[in-house]
Amino acid sequence: MFSRDRWQEIFQTIRKNKLRTFLSGFTVALGILIFTVLFGMGNGLKNTFNEFFMGDATNTFFIYPGSTSVPYQGFKKGRRIEFRNDDMEDIKKDFAMYLDKITPRSSKSLLASYKGESNTYSVRAIAPAYHEVEKNIIMKGRYLNDKDIKDRAKHVVIGRLVEIDLFGKSESAVGKYMDIGGVMYRVVGVFQDDGGDNDERFIYMPYTTRQLLDKGTDKIDEIVLTYKTEIGYAGAMAFDASLYRYLKDKHKVAPEDQNGIYLSNTADIVQRNMMFANVLQLVVLFVGIGTLIAGVIGISNIMVFVVKERTKELGIRKALGATPASVIGLVLQESIFITTIAGYIGLIMGMGLLELIGNNFKDDYFITNPGVGLNVVISATLILIFFGVIAGYIPARRAASVKPIVALRDE
């Protein structure tokens, strides 16, 4: 393996057969290149799914009231279901073993202004637990707290872009008063959100304050809750079913009525979409493996030709005393050397291409930060080298078993 004479023979053979060496190396490099790029693209798709679904809490239920579609217990169909504060209190009491946080959410589009600057924003009436749902990052000041809820305080937390729109880049909004829908509110915090510009143009206020302004009502548009993560996916689905039945029973909605109450379970949504992403990655992986197999076949064909071409040379070697093992070793060493160098080149080119692509395909093809772990690509390269060895070994062994006199007669 480390014989200087053998390496000199290998390099001499490569120089004499540049085209054959190039074709062998090109097959290997192309196989590794395509495998790396395809596998990296698959990871990029998975990254997009993760980014889209993991930006907010994934252990969340969103519960919306609807209108009944069938009559039930003396009520006609078309009855509008309404949630109230006591619905949240009942859920807290009856589902304590599952429940982590709970908050109402009511939204209105209102005109907000400050010193001549104005714009219309979506104003959400919430409880402090909503911070856990949206995973907002407080840049300045603080988030809404329990005291704000209890006192029905006219306090708001605004998004980063709301502050820029109304207060400019040089003035801090915290502590200032702004007009929202004709009522003055004090800004107690500014948040940012990784979800994008739209998520940073929200305004949050205490839900009790909104109810007070709406003539003292206790109605809420929807209920948002998070469950304890330790219950797992199976526990989340059991909670989903139990809570859905509970709310239908409380609000006199027929069990078969799918329109009276809506419950969206992000755990189920994430599970389904991550399964889809995994299937996509498996498809890409199989395509990549197919490319590697094509490379192996290419190497095999070339090695058969190479050994056939060198039959007379190998016969002379055997006539001069070379053992079958040394003949096989010479062919294999050359095959391993070419395959390794070409595989490394394909690996570098593939990873460089993925680095060049970056997030350029994110908007059009939903591929975010495509990349592949070194262990995966190195494993693929080693597999290709292994099959390259087999591809060289089989014809080399056949040639080494031929008697010298027969090999010398080969044309």
Residue 53 has pLDDT above 60, yes or no: no
Contact in structure between 135 and 266 (CB atoms under 8 Å): no
pLDDT tens digits, 280-325? 767 777 777 777 777 777 767 777 776 777 667 777 777 777 777 7
pLDDT bucket at 23, cuts 50 / 70 / 90: confident
Averaged pLDDT, 179-205: 92
Is 207 a residue whose pLDDT tops 90?
yes
CA gap 9, 12 in Å, rounded: 5
Range with the lowest mean pLDDT among 81-85, 166-170, 256-260, 296-300? Answer: 296-300
Domain ranges of the chain: 4-53+271-408, 60-263
User: Which backbone phi and psi does 77 adopt, to 5 degrees?
Assistant: -75, 160
Rounded CA-CA distance 32/38 in Å is 10
- Average confidence score pLDDT of the chain: 84
pLDDT the model gives residue 103? 96
Give 359 or 183, the one with higher predicted confidence: 183
Phi/psi at 204 (5° precision) = -110, 135
Identify the weakest region by mean pLDDT among 197-211, 232-246, 368-382.
368-382
What is the reported pTM?
0.63
pLDDT at residue 57 above 70?
no
DSSP string, 28-84: HHHHHHHHHHHHHHHHHHHHHHHHHHHSS-SSEEEEEE-B-SS-BTTBPTTPBP-EE
The share of the chain scoring above pLDDT 70, in percent, equals 89
Looking at residue 175, what is its pLDDT? Answer: 96
- β-bridge pairing 155-159 and 183-192: parallel
Give the confidence band of 51 by pLDDT, cuts at 50, 70, 90. low
- Distances in whole angstroms, Cα of residue 334 to Cα of each of 140, 194, 290, 337: 65, 53, 25, 5
Angstrom distances, CA of residue 105 to CA of 6, 143, 222, 403: 77, 16, 5, 87
pLDDT per position as a tens digit, 161-184 = 999 999 998 899 999 999 999 999
pLDDT band at 2 (very low <50, low <70, confident <90, very high): low
Asked if residues 37 and 349 have their Cβ atoms less than 8 Å apart, the reply is: no
CA 392-397-398 angle, to 5 degrees, is: 105
Strands 60-65 and 222-227: antiparallel
In eight-state DSSP terms, residue 221 is S
The string of pLDDT tens digits covering residues 120-162 is 999 999 999 999 888 889 999 999 999 999 999 999 999 999 9
Question: Is the pLDDT score of 188 beyond 60?
Answer: yes
- Greatest mean pLDDT among 8-17, 49-58, 143-152, 297-306 lies in 143-152
Buried b (16+ CB within 10 A) or exposed e, 324-342: eeebbbbbbbbbbbbbbeb
Whether pLDDT at 337 is above 70: yes
Q: What is the mean pLDDT of residues 233-256?
A: 93
Q: According to the model, what pLDDT value does residue 42 have? A: 78
